[in-house]
């Protein structure tokens, strides 16, 4: 056992990645993210439905867009759609091991990728294939104290993976890989078993910095070609949950095409003034209509281009959500500063109470501003049904882009089992819903809902149908197909 511990200790000391601990606002001081770098952030969010907005606000303080966002312990519900992020595809695990379970992954839509859910014992996992990398996004509940089944199942999947591909294991694994003098023999055994299994595949810790209290439970385990790639890991202070945010950047990755964030403005008044001052009299004497049109279009194009200004939007001013104001960002910064002070001085009760009160005030303010924005958005579109439903879908996160139909064939181990599973679901869902509703109703207490007055439907004719069809709005078809 001593030799094994020494081996693991030596593996931990290998600098597979440069790592630091800092605030969100200080990340740019430690790393410069280029457009060809692969960036990943992972966060234990402890309910995606309650803490998602706070997490998004933290992301808005970064001066770049992330390629992959991993959220763990999402406490997913089959009856609730997951929140969406503009310009990102979202994926979620479907197997729930307990009420806290669930992994959600957001991938930038401009990057070619493939995501599948794999079956791990005692853990939920989405495997992402992207830019020559296999990224395992994992949440393992701490309720499973024996990790042997988890490590064995993960080893099975790693064993069939190509040895030439870069491997990243990310998420809240709940195995402490930071050596502590006071750790129990059970924790030491789990750490050794986990690290030994991964080292067999050349996968080493990207960091061993604390992510929850004094333990390193949120991992970035890496197997990369160090001659072609360099890795940087940052542990970012946050108050979203008691887990810090983990950030990874891999450099020298190619073929990531990101659109520039620019704004284009046209000075209409100056353009009109330039057009009025332009001498167009020569066009009146032109006999060739093609030449006349070409000259006139050329003149207009020159004036428009001459009065058009394209500016790149500074990332520091880019806000992901429209309801996030600069005041909220300052509030978040003050809240995080108080939290840092409180953690550095844990026995200062006055500081602790001050932080708690300010945190509650800040969180309530975020919720209040978001609700006000959503109410105003619905009020403005109340007279436009098409826009109203579009806003409702955005607010309720029900406008998710559906996955390709072929992915349904991967729900079960074989296409045949998947088709039977889907068929069984739709053939029984009606009866299941009815069974859930009927027991809650007692026939003796069902109110009398008979209408006070009877009514009748009058027969229609071709002329009435024809009038109705002719009066339909021609631009309503997209809403009906949505």
Residue 228 lies in a domain: yes
- The CATH number linked to 128 is 3.60.10.10
Residue 413 lies in a domain: no
Strands 133-139 and 166-172: parallel
Q: How confident is the model at residue 169 (pLDDT cuts 50, 70, 90)?
A: very high
Find the range with the poorest average confidence among 83-87, 162-166, 335-339: 162-166
- Provide the residue range defining the domain that includes 269: 262-312
Task: Please say whether the beta carbons of 133 and 38 come within 8 A.
Answer: yes
Percent of the chain with pLDDT over 90: 38
Whether 281 and 238 share a structural domain: no
Whether 234 and 168 share a structural domain: yes
Residue 246 lies in a domain: yes
Mean pLDDT of 49-75: 94
Whether 297 and 195 share a structural domain: no
* 362 Cβ neighbours under 8 A, 6+ residues apart: 331, 332, 334, 335
Q: How confident is the model at residue 420 (pLDDT cuts 50, 70, 90)?
A: confident
Residue 140 lies in a domain: yes
Task: Find residue 249's DSSP bridge partners.
Answer: 39, 232
Residue 395 lies in a domain: no
Model confidence at 7: pLDDT above 60: no
Of 250, 272, 293, which residue sits at a domain end? 250
Whether 159 and 233 share a structural domain: yes
Of 209, 228, 250, which residue sits at a domain end? 250
Whether 136 and 14 share a structural domain: yes
Model confidence at 8: pLDDT above 70: no
Model confidence at 258: pLDDT above 70: no
Whether 165 and 71 share a structural domain: yes
Whether 268 and 166 share a structural domain: no
Per-residue pLDDT at 2: 43
- Local structure of residue 134 (DSSP, 8 states): E
Residue 408 lies in a domain: no
Whether 202 and 274 share a structural domain: no
Q: Which residue has the higher pLDDT, 8 or 20?
A: 20
Whether 20 and 140 share a structural domain: yes
Whether 124 and 195 share a structural domain: yes
Residue 399 lies in a domain: no
Per-residue pLDDT at 366: 87
User: Distance between CA atoms of 389 and 407, rounded to whole angstroms?
Assistant: 28
Whether 181 and 217 share a structural domain: yes
Q: Is the dihedral of CA 477, 479, 480, 482 positive or negative?
A: positive
Three-state secondary structure of 237-298: ECCCCCCCEEEEEECCCCCCCCCCCEEEEECHHHHHHHHHHCCCHHHHHCCCHHHHHHHHHH
Whether 194 and 53 share a structural domain: yes
- CA distances from residue 55 to 43, 44, 237, 298 in whole angstroms, order as listed: 9, 10, 12, 49
Q: Which residue has the higher pLDDT, 262 or 44?
A: 44
Residue 212 lies in a domain: yes
At 186-214, the pLDDT tens digits run 999 999 999 999 988 889 999 999 999 89
Of 227, 250, 273, which residue sits at a domain end? 250
- Single pTM value for the model: 0.64
Task: Please say whether the beta carbons of 115 and 105 come within 8 A.
Answer: yes
**What is the domain count for the chain?**
2
* 418 Cβ neighbours under 8 A, 6+ residues apart: 408, 409, 410, 411, 412
Model confidence at 254: pLDDT above 80: no
């Amino acid at each position: 056992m001593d030799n094994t511990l020494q081996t693991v200790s030596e593996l931990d000391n290998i600098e597979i990645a440069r790592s630091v601990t800092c605030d969100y606002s200080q990340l740019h001081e430690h790393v410069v993210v280029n457009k060809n770098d692969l960036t990943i952030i992972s966060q234990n969010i402890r309910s995606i439905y309650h803490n998602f907005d706070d997490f998004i606000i933290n992301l808005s303080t970064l001066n770049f867009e992330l390629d992959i966002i991993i959220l763990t312990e999402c406490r997913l519900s089959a009856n609730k759609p997951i929140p969406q992020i503009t310009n990102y595809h979202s994926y979620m695990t479907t197997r729930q091991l307990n009420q806290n379970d669930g992994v959600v992954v957001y991938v930038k839509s401009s990057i070619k990728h493939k995501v599948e859910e794999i079956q791990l014992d005692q853990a939920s996992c989405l495997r992402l294939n992207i830019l020559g990398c296999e990224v395992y996004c994992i949440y393992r509940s701490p309720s499973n104290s024996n990790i042997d089944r988890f490590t064995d199942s993960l080893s099975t999947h790693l064993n069939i993976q190509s040895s030439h591909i870069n491997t990243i294991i990310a998420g809240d694994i709940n195995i402490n890989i930071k050596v502590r003098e006071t750790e129990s023999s059970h924790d030491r055994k789990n750490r050794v078993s986990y690290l030994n299994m991964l080292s067999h595949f050349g996968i080493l810790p990207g960091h061993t910095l604390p992510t929850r209290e004094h333990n390193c439970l949120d991992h970035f385990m890496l197997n990369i070609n160090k001659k072609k790639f360099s890795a940087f890991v940052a542990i970012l202070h946050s108050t979203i949950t008691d887990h810090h945010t983990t950030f990874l950047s891999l450099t020298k990755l190619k073929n990531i095409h990101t659109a520039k964030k620019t704004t284009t403005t046209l000075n209409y008044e100056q353009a009109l003034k330039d057009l009025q001052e332009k001498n167009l009299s020569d066009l009146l004497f032109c006999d060739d209509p093609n030449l006349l049109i070409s000259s006139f279009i050329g003149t207009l194009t020159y004036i428009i281009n001459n009065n058009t200004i394209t500016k790149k939007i500074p990332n520091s001013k880019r806000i992901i959500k429209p309801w996030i104001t600069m005041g909220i960002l300052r509030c978040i910064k003050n809240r995080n500063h108080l939290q840092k002070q409180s953690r550095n001085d844990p026995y200062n009760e006055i500081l602790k109470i001050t932080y708690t009160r300010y945190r509650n005030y800040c969180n309530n303010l975020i919720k209040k501003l978001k609700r006000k924005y959503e109410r105003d958005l619905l009020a403005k579109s109340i007279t436009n049904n098409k826009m109203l439903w579009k806003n409702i879908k955005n607010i309720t996160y029900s406008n998710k882009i559906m996955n390709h139909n072929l992915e349904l064939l991967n729900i079960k181990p074989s296409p045949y089992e998947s088709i039977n599973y889907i068929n069984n679901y739709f053939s029984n869902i009606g009866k299941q819903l009815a069974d859930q509703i009927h027991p809650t109703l007692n026939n003796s207490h069902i109110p009398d809902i008979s209408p006070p007055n009877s009514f009748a439907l009058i027969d229609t004719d071709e002329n009435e149908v024809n009038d109705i069809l002719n009066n339909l709005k021609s631009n309503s078809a997209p809403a009906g197909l949505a």
